């Protein structure tokens, strides 16, 4: 149907209005579009930002992992050190409970604890204290010698200090210290005070001292629980401290603290502080499974066993590979222990007098040993030990004989406390008729030279002659 002019005009007007409305319609916001187009600049900026964020995350994440791993490694390493195992294996207890206690200086064991054993340098120790610098204070489980304190009651000039610890200008000092292998690695200075016993109370010494090796102090003993502690081993031994009258002190067999004369002879226990972070190869601290110190090549032969023929010997001195050894038992003849007199009239060791133990050892015992050819000469001190010289330990070294066999003297290091009632070799004043012996409980005794006692000989070999074994009692060293 043909449209009228009016209808055409109206239709044209409607198209015009529709076109204008279309132009006025708002455009969609690009941000609200489902698909966004990035320009090259914006894309580069976003890409770089993403890379930076990833790098920062990797950096800090990596560092966190590194420090976490490092901390875990340090924890594992510390856990396998002596100081680390002490804390890992013990809960801190309070009041009078036995166990590991804490104080302002670190930690200490108290009471009859059974998990503070340490095996080091072929001998057993007990842990006394873990210091706040991670060093560990040890005491020998048993006696290491028996002799008199000395004429001077002070510790500074006593036989104990000079024998245990190297002292300047006294070349023969530090007998015990020299038995410890690699001292610079294992040993650090031990601090101590000299205290007094005032009835049941302790008056602490004002002046602190320090040495490489010391002996147990009065304060150590009391802090550990005294007679009701692991330190009471049923032996007689000196303790560093005094009563109010200035008399020396020792521990009785029942653990009681007693006063004594400085000329009396009792056992000695060694105390030293082990350096921090010393590795432990095994053990849980019990007697049957003690902490075993990892020594590597830091060893010597002291306290090792050597098998010669049918006899077992124990090393007590390692002087640059020259090994002094005592028989790990008594001389036996046809299965019977030999007992005999020292001599008929004096206390001087003599190879030429037929009635002397020296003559017997050199002319009767030594020639009959199947291994006599590996035995070498060594020096054996026999200087005077008497009231006339103040029972001063270094004087014993003023005279020596150089031979292939001899006897122990009372200042030799001896860790076999099962041996007792045998003659030692120390010359008395004016050809004394009395000689020394040590009882099983550590008491130093004097006996008439005509009495009958066991004989424990001493010989020496070169370490280079050892060709097998590991030095333990169940696998002793053997020679070619």
Would the CA dihedral through 7, 8, 9, 11 be positive or negative? positive
Segment 213-268, tens digit of pLDDT: 999 999 999 999 999 999 999 999 999 999 999 999 999 999 999 999 999 999 99
Residue 279's pLDDT band (boundaries 50, 70, 90)? very high
The pTM assigned to this predicted structure is 0.84
> In the predicted model, is pLDDT for residue 39 greater than 90?
no
18-27, 152-161, 269-278, 423-432 — which is least confidently predicted? 18-27
The rounded distance, in Å, linking the Cα atoms of 372 and 366 is 7
Could you tell me if residue 369 is left (phi over 0), alpha (psi between -120 and 50 degrees) or otherwise beta?
Answer: beta
Closest CA to 118 of 285, 311, 324, 325: 285
What was the pLDDT predicted at 207?
87
Residue 436's pLDDT band (boundaries 50, 70, 90)? very high
User: Does residue 272 or residue 206 have the better pLDDT?
Assistant: 272
The rounded distance, in Å, linking the Cα atoms of 22 and 149 is 119
Segment 76-128, tens digit of pLDDT: 445 689 999 999 999 999 888 999 999 999 999 999 999 999 999 999 999 99
Q: Over range 290-318, report the average pLDDT.
A: 97
What was the pLDDT predicted at 71?
42
The C-alpha angle with vertex 351 and arms to 301 and 431, in degrees rounded to 5, equals 105
> In the predicted model, is pLDDT for residue 18 greater than 60?
no
Q: Over range 389-410, report the average pLDDT.
A: 94
User: Does residue 23 or residue 420 have the better pLDDT?
Assistant: 420
What was the pLDDT predicted at 65?
47
> In the predicted model, is pLDDT for residue 75 greater than 50?
no
Q: Over range 68-83, report the average pLDDT.
A: 58
Report yes or no: 378 and 460 within 8 Å, Cβ to Cβ.
Answer: yes
> In the predicted model, is pLDDT for residue 4 greater than 50?
yes
What was the pLDDT predicted at 22?
53
The rounded distance, in Å, linking the Cα atoms of 245 and 250 is 15
Residue 295's pLDDT band (boundaries 50, 70, 90)? very high
The rounded distance, in Å, linking the Cα atoms of 335 and 246 is 50
Average pLDDT, the chain: 89
Segment 412-425, tens digit of pLDDT: 999 988 999 999 99
Segment 116-172, tens digit of pLDDT: 999 999 999 999 999 999 999 999 999 999 999 999 899 999 999 999 999 999 999
């Amino acid at each position: 149907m043909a449209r009228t002019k009016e209808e055409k005009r109206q239709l044209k007007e409607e198209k015009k209005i529709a076109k204008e409305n279309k132009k006025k319609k708002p455009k969609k916001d690009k941000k609200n579009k489902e698909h966004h187009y990035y320009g090259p600049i914006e894309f580069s900026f976003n890409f770089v930002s993403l890379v930076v964020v990833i790098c920062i995350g990797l950096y800090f994440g990596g560092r966190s992992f590194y420090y976490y791993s490092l901390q875990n490694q340090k924890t594992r390493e510390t856990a396998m050190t002596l100081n680390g195992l002490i804390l890992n294996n013990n809960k801190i207890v309070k009041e009078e409970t036995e166990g590991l206690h804490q104080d302002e200086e670190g930690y200490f064991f108290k009471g009859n604890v059974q998990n503070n054993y340490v095996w080091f340098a072929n001998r057993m120790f007990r842990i006394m204290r873990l210091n706040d610098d991670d060093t560990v204070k040890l005491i020998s489980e048993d006696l290491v010698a028996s002799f008199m304190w000395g004429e001077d009651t002070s510790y500074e000039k006593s036989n104990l200090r000079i024998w245990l610890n190297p002292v300047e200008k006294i070349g023969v000092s530090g007998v015990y210290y020299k038995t410890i292998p690699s001292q610079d690695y294992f040993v650090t200075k031990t601090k101590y005070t000299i205290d007094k016993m005032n009835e049941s109370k302790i008056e602490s010494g004002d002046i602190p001292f320090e040495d490489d090796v010391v002996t147990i102090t009065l304060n150590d003993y009391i802090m550990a629980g005294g007679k009701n502690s692991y330190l009471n081993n049923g032996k007689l031994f000196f303790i560093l401290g005094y009563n109010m009258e200035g008399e020396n002190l020792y521990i009785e067999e029942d653990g009681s603290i007693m006063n004594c004369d400085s000329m009396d002879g009792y056992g000695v226990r060694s105390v030293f502080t082990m350096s921090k972070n010393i590795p432990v190869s095994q053990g849980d601290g019990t007697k049957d499974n003690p902490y075993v110190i990892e020594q590597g090549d830091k060893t010597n032969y002291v306290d090792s066993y050597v098998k010669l023929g049918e006899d077992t010997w124990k090393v007590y001195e390692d002087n640059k590979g020259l090994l002094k050894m005592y028989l790990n038992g008594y001389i036996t003849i046809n299965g019977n222990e030999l007992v005999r007199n020292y001599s008929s009239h004096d206390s001087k060791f003599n190879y030429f007098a037929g009635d002397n133990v020296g003559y017997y050892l050199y002319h009767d015992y030594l020639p009959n040993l199947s291994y006599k050819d590996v035995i070498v000469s060594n020096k054996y001190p026999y200087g005077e030990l008497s009231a006339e010289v103040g029972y001063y330990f270094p004087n014993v070294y003023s005279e020596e004989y150089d031979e292939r066999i001899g006897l122990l003297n009372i200042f030799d290091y001896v860790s076999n406390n099962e041996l007792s009632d045998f003659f030692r070799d120390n010359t008395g004043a004016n050809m004394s008729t009395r000689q020394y012996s040590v009882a099983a409980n550590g008491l130093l005794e004097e006996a008439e030279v005509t009495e009958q006692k066991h004989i424990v000989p001493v010989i020496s070999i070169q370490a280079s002659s050892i060709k097998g074994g590991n030095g333990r009692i169940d696998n002793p060293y053997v020679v070619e």
